[in-house]
A and B are shown apart, each in its own frame.
Chain A
Amino acid sequence: MSATPTVGHRPVDLAVVAARDRENVIVGNEIVRHRRASRLIHWSVSLTFFVCLFSGMPIWSPIFGWMAAFFGGLSAARVVHPWAGIAFFLFSAVMFFHWLGEMRFLPSERDWLGPKALEYMRYEGDDSEVGKYNGGQKLFFFATALGALGLLLSGLLMWWPSAFPRVVLQLSYLIHDVAFIAFAIAIVFHIYLGTAAEPGTFGAMTRGTVTRGWARLHHPKWYRDVSGDDGSRRG
């Protein structure tokens, strides 16, 4: 193995360089999982989501009224919220089409709505055929896409209350609430699994890379595809 490449006297981190525009490539002990574009899209969705969250929750219930202070009061939060919602939806739409091709459900992933998800959470699932994304991640992907669409459509109605019949508004408040509640629950587990529960995962969205060991554990089929290593040499 050659010496660490440098620019001037500074060492070059080859994995990070590769992660700018390539995915699914091995650099040393690391594998690029999300290239820079993917990470930017993800964090744009994330940022706008949290702006929506903190501007929307004080309007949802006065219990969260203190969150309005981030925006300079409830009136300001009310002005920010719909625009942040538009931005959130647009980034979500970009993310949807960015990842759609990789999120097709395989027949073996059908039961992720039921027992498979529980097995996975007990760390007992058989992950040997899991590719780059497991069934739960795909489920989360489509659920959040649907949620974002529901939030947008109900939110647009709520933005122009004078233009719609009262019962339509009442329904849109309900839909906005239910979509948000489902979204919030999903996000809690998304963040939990991506940070505390599964070490090494968060780096996929920051640095862009994961270790070989991480890939073998969580996404063995993806690891085999990327490395060409069918596991027979492992001892």
Chain B
Amino acid sequence: MVMQSLEIRRSSASVWGIPSGIRTLPTVSKYIDTSTCIGCKACEVACQEWNDLRPVQTTQTGTYQTMPTLHPEFWNLIRFNEQNYDGGIAWIMRKDQCMHCDDPGCLAACPAPGAIVQYANGIVDVNQDLCIGCGYCESGCPFDVPRFHATTGKMAKCTLCVDRTTVGLEPACVKACPTGCLQFGTKDDMVVLGNQRVAQLQSAGYKNAALYNPAGVGGTGVVTVLAHGNHLDWYSLPADPHVPILTRLWKHVVRPLGMVAIAGAVIGAFGHFTKFGRKEVPGSGDSGVQPPPA
């Protein structure tokens, strides 16, 4: 849903989208601490309830994980993973959802003007009115988040509860979290909180603890504390996410060059006509054009 009351920082397939600066909207962020997540899935339920998403039939894969992957009607998934660690087991629970990138690949790939917007506060949202359901955003997202909803024919993903956050409420998942491992606030505050927690984890023996806020996409609107920051694969997180180079090549090189080339062909044809004119049939007044029927 698009909140008209929020200014737009960036808009798909558009050249406009610079905030006026009349209102000061700090970039917001969600904070996820995987080390204090207990896997209760209250956030999953809260997300389904607030966004009126229906229960989706799942498949049992031998873990506690609700769904194998994100789904057009399931935007918030705790990914469960078990890894051998320090003579025991590290039980990983990572909240998978839209990362609300500062440089969103979905928005870069989207061909429909205004169908994907980034508000002035950094939230990346799909405008259901303008989405044409082409799925280009799926190819642009480095986190494999957007999903095509076959019933609506549109793309669906986490909105960072833009309808709640706009009016000063925290996202539904944060509201429901019983351990405080989910927090919501300005990006600056959440990064400070994350760094504090990382330092705490490191002093507690988790030497590789890290805050996941990848620079390749300009940082994310969802910062994640990882106890095992050297094992991003345990969390199904990409090491260096960025807008795909092929997407950039397609949109910023091939497309403009193609337009110039096609326009050049049209201009070339006109130029040819000016210089060489028609290739007339010579002699005897035969224009090559058939006479009108008798």
Q: List residues 121-154 of chain B with CB under 8 A from any CB of chain A.
A: 130, 132-136, 138-139, 141, 144, 147-148, 153
CB distance from A84 to the nearest CB of B (A): 15
Which A residue's beta carbon lies closest to that of B14?
Answer: A62
Name the contact of B148 in the complex, choosing from A60, A162, A180 (C-beta under 8 A). Answer: A162
Which residues of A have CB within 8 Å of B133?
75, 78
CB distance from B11 to the nearest CB of A (A): 10
B219 within 8 A of A: no
Which residues of B have CB within 8 Å of A212?
286
CB <8 Å contact, A188 and B265:
yes
CB <8 Å contact, B148 and A161:
yes
Which residues of B have CB within 8 Å of A192?
269, 272-273
Q: List residues 146-201 of chain A with CB under 8 A from any CB of chain B.
A: 158, 161-162, 166-167, 169-171, 173-174, 177-178, 180-181, 184-185, 188-189, 192, 196-201
A20 CA to B289 CA, complexed, in Å: 19
CB <8 Å contact, A211 and B294:
no
User: Which of A37-45, A88-96, A109-117, A202-210 contacts its partner?
Assistant: A202-210
Count, chain B residues at interface, CB 8 A: 51
CB <8 Å contact, B246 and A181:
no
CB <8 Å contact, A174 and B254:
yes
Contact with A along B100-134 (1 / 0, CB 8 A): 00000000000111000000000000000010111
Main secondary structure of the interface of B (DSSP, over half): loop
Name the contact of B135 in the complex, choosing from A161, A197, A201 (C-beta under 8 A). Answer: A161
Which residues of A have CB within 8 Å of B286?
211-214
Which residues of B have CB within 8 Å of A74?
112, 130, 132
Q: What total count of A-B pairs have CB within 8 Å? A: 156
A226 CA to B175 CA, complexed, in Å: 85
User: Which of B17-25, B74-82, B256-264 contacts its partner?
Assistant: B256-264
Q: How large is the interface on A (under 10, 10 to 19, 20 to 34, 35 or more residues)?
A: 35 or more
Name the contact of B139 in the complex, choosing from A13, A59, A161 (C-beta under 8 A). Answer: A161
Known: A161-B138, A170-B139. A197 touches B254 (CB 8 A): no
Which residues of B have CB within 8 Å of A169?
135, 138-139
A61 CA to B262 CA, complexed, in Å: 14
A122 within 8 A of B: yes
CB distance from A4 to the nearest CB of B (A): 5
Known: A59-B111, A74-B112. A4 touches B249 (CB 8 A): no
Contact with B along A98-127 (1 / 0, CB 8 A): 000000000000000000000001110000
CB <8 Å contact, B250 and A199:
no
A47 within 8 A of B: no
A30 within 8 A of B: yes
Which A residue's beta carbon lies closest to that of B154?
Answer: A75
A217 CA to B289 CA, complexed, in Å: 13
Known: A181-B262, A197-B273. A211 touches B279 (CB 8 A): no
Known: A11-B293, A74-B112, A170-B246. A197 touches B148 (CB 8 A): no
A/B interface sample: 19 pairs, CB < 8 A: A13-B294, A15-B290, A62-B113, A75-B153, A78-B132, A122-B276, A123-B276, A158-B134, A161-B134, A166-B139, A173-B246, A177-B250, A178-B254, A181-B261, A185-B262, A188-B265, A213-B288, A214-B281, A217-B281
Apart from A74-B112, A74-B132, A177-B255, what are 10 other A-B pairs with CB-CB below 8 Å? Answer: A59-B112, A59-B132, A61-B111, A170-B246, A192-B273, A196-B273, A198-B279, A200-B281, A211-B281, A217-B282
**Leading 7 A-B pairs by shortest Cβ distance:** A200-B288, A161-B135, A213-B286, A170-B246, A181-B258, A169-B139, A213-B281
